Structure 1
Amino acid sequence: MSMIDFTHDPAARCWVPGAQGHCDFPVQNLPLGMASIDGGASLGVTRIGDHVLSLPTIAGLMTGKAQEAARDAMGSLNDLAARGGDAMRDLRRQLFTLLTQEDHRERVEPHLHPVADAVMELPFRIGDYTDFYTGIHHAENIGRFFRPENPLLPNYKHVPIGYHGRASSVRVSGGDVIRPYGQTRPAEGEDMPGYGPSARLDYELEMGVWVGEGNALGQPVPIAGAGRHIAGISILNDWSVRDLQAWEYQPLGPFLAKNFHSTVSPWVVTMDALAPFRTAQPARAEGDPKPLPYLWDDADQGEGALAVTMEVLISTAAMRDAGHAPHRLSSGSMTAMYWTAAQMVAHHASNGCDLNPGDLLGTGTLSGKNETSWGSLMELSANGTKPIALPSGETRTFLEDGDEIVMRAFAEKEGCARIGFGECRGVIVGR
């Protein structure tokens, strides 16, 4: 497990202008990302306030594992993350020291760049992407549309459900999302399915778990040590095409409805940064089965959940033209996960599957119990039957061209510095 140390001190002072008390990126955060600065090579960076700090170019100011990790941050974070939690912790501690002790300022400051000068890139070279379904309230909400009497399938509370997504179409925040085309159910009275642009395009409010240290093929990851294989967490919007999915998903699950685009935020918040915000996994409902031993660890149940707040906002083209701020659709918590991140990792590797640095694991849509915390339009619009009113006078059941979805996430707690994940954005455009 990650630990609380001097890098979490809320009273720590940072000499970088504007970093003190930054709402997302104070010195207590120090997330990792990849960026091209002023058109240069892709370098690993950390975010401090409204600046980025290049890791490879300051490697000489560090020692030991931290120095090696910083030098590895070229082209992607894969090699850095592969060094494991000890190296990432040492890197965090030495970065914290460089940014809080004034006597280091003269040597470090030349390597700071305004974030506006950095073009953010995918943080990892993604070999594989697996999307889980850990949000039980979302699973129940969606299940009720199709199986009102029994919304959860019998396996849900025994096994972390997941499917293999498409790594090649994962993109970093900020790009256009092209409306997909595909087959849909035959119209009433018709024998043949339709084909055309989706009319029921949706977002999914998720978090992405990045694999750091991997495991060898055939060697499961024990649940007690699964957390050591997690490099950090980003926001994930796993866009979903509800009309295509309804036609194609049986018997093998989602395919074209999910593989056309997934968006991740550029910053990887490390598990050490999140240490103060660990919390007990919510107790299972009375009568729910206890997971099998390979998925159960008392320590993970005691602090394997994360008190991270997530929110999703929408900005239509008309709202932007009128100068309206994005409208918040919902806000929820990562504690809506029925399975912990460690259980996701342990289950994924339990059959001997080898996880590799840079693999992405999605949590699945995280909806809370109440409507104000539901993480998809399918839920909020009652499967398209209840239009959502927007401040511009428009309504939405599903996404239209020109709509921008903005996802944010942060962690805050009394006695701790608030840290954030930044934003995950995407604009829907026609083909």
Structure 2
Amino acid sequence: MSADFGPQTQAHGVYSVAGEQPRVGVRLQDEAGDVVVDVSALADRAGLPWAEALSAPSLNPFMAAGPRVWAEHRRWLDGLLGLDGPVPDAVRDASHALDDGSRAVRLHLPFEVADYVDFYSSRDHAENLGAMFRPGQPPLTPAWTHVPIGYHGRAGTVVVSGTGVRRPVGQVRAPGAEHPEVVASRRLDIEAEVGFVVGVGSALGDSVPLERFADHVFGVCLVDDWSARDLQAWEYVPLGPFLGKSFATSVSAWVTPLSSLEHARLPAPAREHPVQDYLDDSAQPWGLDLHLEVRLNGHVVSRPPFARMYWTAAQQLAHLTVNGASLRTGDLFASGTVSGAQRDERGSLIELSWNGEQPLELPDGTTRTFLSDGDEVVITAWAPGPGGTRVGLGEVAGRVEPAR
């Protein structure tokens, strides 16, 4: 059995069982199965000062407690979950099976999303899109290698993994047409991304330097930034994505603490230009060796490598706040589409099908350029952990529902 959620991972989520209120749990996977451990109840029995925060219906109160509490909580979990030995009976007794088929456990959106920012930090992805839409011109815009490019999304349409995604409706102008029409998107796409969840906020007017990244960011989740490419193409000049992105963004039900990824840290790729001082991460690199996998209707279509991302999450946070923008508990910022140099490493269908010109062939004999109603997309990821183990980032799944 895969052990992506062994004691080394400590992925946190919010769950409920019939007749009880949602509360914080930790996922645990070993030879006995895949379970959620009721750490709220166990912390209460142990008399831990942060036990009340774990009884909340979101991770926000616990995340707001800050890095000192996160570290103490992790040390407690190391012993509780059997990091150095078998899982204690008390943990088994406070666990609920996730894979028994009964759906007795319901997983909820793990945190209340305060603000949502999406970046555009894969050079491979940016160059692919530039080659498609600006042929004969440099694939990257002038600012791209100097600054992490991003846009502000809609926090209210961030949904938990497993939520159906309704095909959006909006304005589209067909090639050669004089006027746009209002239609259901015909070019619905995915974007395989990694999200970073802010635990501790900052004051308006302050900036968060690179070296304080881990003081503010609690953990990591997976993101599918659903995209209506035809709506986006018509609306995005000059202010960028709007209705083509705001209808739904899916996140995994589990947030893996940043502290679980120490063995996955590595330097980012070489920079094309010297970066500004506030983006200089040479002393504290926060590149991450994350291995993503994208499945469409059960078939693996891509394995994007996060290690190739040009801008790191620490640089993204430093840039997000350099103008004095404040952070709040529950802020989510995402990496942008994760893509690699090879075709089977591209993290979106617009790349995999090269804007529809090269249909993607699936093992069941069907082809796709963009998503059809009923299609299900599942994105998973793992990172190297201590002693040759793996650290899981859960999964983010969604099925396309017909437009209303």
CA drift of 1:413 comes to: 6.1
1:399 maps to 2:387: no
The one of 165, 172, 178 aligned to 1:177: 165
AA in 2 matched with 1:232: G
Match of 2:327 in 1: 355
CA deviations on 1:26-66 (whole Å, 9 max, x unpaired) are 11111111111234111011011111111221113446xxx
CA distance in structure 2 between the aligned counterparts of 1:135 and 1:70, rounded to whole angstroms: 39
Closer, same or farther: CA 247–94 of 1 in aligned 2, 3 Å: same
CA drift of 1:96 comes to: 1.8
1:179–1:428 CA contact under 8 A, matched in 2: yes
CA distance in structure 1 between the aligned counterparts of 2:368 and 2:90, rounded to whole angstroms: 52
1:203–1:377 CA contact under 8 A, matched in 2: yes
Match of 1:110 in 2: 93
Match of 2:14 in 1: 34
Match of 2:246 in 1: 259
Which structure 2 residues correspond to residues 348-427 of structure 1 after superposition, within 5 A? 348-412=320-384, 415-427=387-399
CA drift of 1:157 comes to: 0.9
CA distance in structure 2 between the aligned counterparts of 1:331 and 1:27, rounded to whole angstroms: 25
SS in 2 for 1:68: coil
CA distance in structure 1 between the aligned counterparts of 2:73 and 2:16, rounded to whole angstroms: 21
Closer, same or farther: CA 257–80 of 1 in aligned 2, 3 Å: same
CA distance in structure 2 between the aligned counterparts of 1:185 and 1:69, rounded to whole angstroms: 54
The one of 30, 44, 60 aligned to 2:44: 60
How many positions carry a matched residue from both structures? 392
CA deviations on 1:130-155 (whole Å, 9 max, x unpaired) are 00111111011001112222111000
SS in 2 for 1:338: coil
Closer, same or farther: CA 130–300 of 1 in aligned 2, 3 Å: same
Instruction: Tell me the TM-score normalised to structure 1 length.
Output: 0.87
1:187–1:194 CA contact under 8 A, matched in 2: no
Closer, same or farther: CA 260–104 of 1 in aligned 2, 3 Å: closer
Closer, same or farther: CA 95–22 of 1 in aligned 2, 3 Å: farther
CA distance in structure 2 between the aligned counterparts of 1:413 and 1:34, rounded to whole angstroms: 24
SS in 1 for 2:304: strand
CA deviations on 1:287-306 (whole Å, 9 max, x unpaired) are x21110011132323xx111
CA drift of 1:214 comes to: 1.2
1:138–1:374 CA contact under 8 A, matched in 2: yes
The one of 307, 321, 333 aligned to 2:289: 307
**Which consecutive residues of structure 1, in runs of 5 or more, have no partner in the other structure?**
1-20, 316-325
Match of 2:309 in 1: 337
CA distance in structure 1 between the aligned counterparts of 2:369 and 2:385, rounded to whole angstroms: 35
1:70–1:91 CA contact under 8 A, matched in 2: no
CA distance in structure 1 between the aligned counterparts of 2:89 and 2:185, rounded to whole angstroms: 55
Closer, same or farther: CA 103–384 of 1 in aligned 2, 3 Å: closer
CA deviations on 1:86-126 (whole Å, 9 max, x unpaired) are 21121121012012277983444332111253211111100
Match of 1:82 in 2: 64
SS in 2 for 1:329: strand
Match of 2:142 in 1: 154
1:187–1:193 CA contact under 8 A, matched in 2: no
2:381–2:395 CA contact under 8 A, matched in 1: yes
2:292–2:382 CA contact under 8 A, matched in 1: yes
Which structure 2 residues correspond to residues 276-295 of structure 1 after superposition, within 5 A? 276-284=263-271, 288-295=272-279
The one of 250, 274, 280 aligned to 1:296: 280
SS in 1 for 2:88: helix
Closer, same or farther: CA 402–45 of 1 in aligned 2, 3 Å: same
Identity within the alignment, % = 42
1:330–1:374 CA contact under 8 A, matched in 2: yes
CA drift of 1:380 comes to: 0.8
AA in 2 matched with 1:347: H
1:163 maps to 2:144: no
Closer, same or farther: CA 398–365 of 1 in aligned 2, 3 Å: same
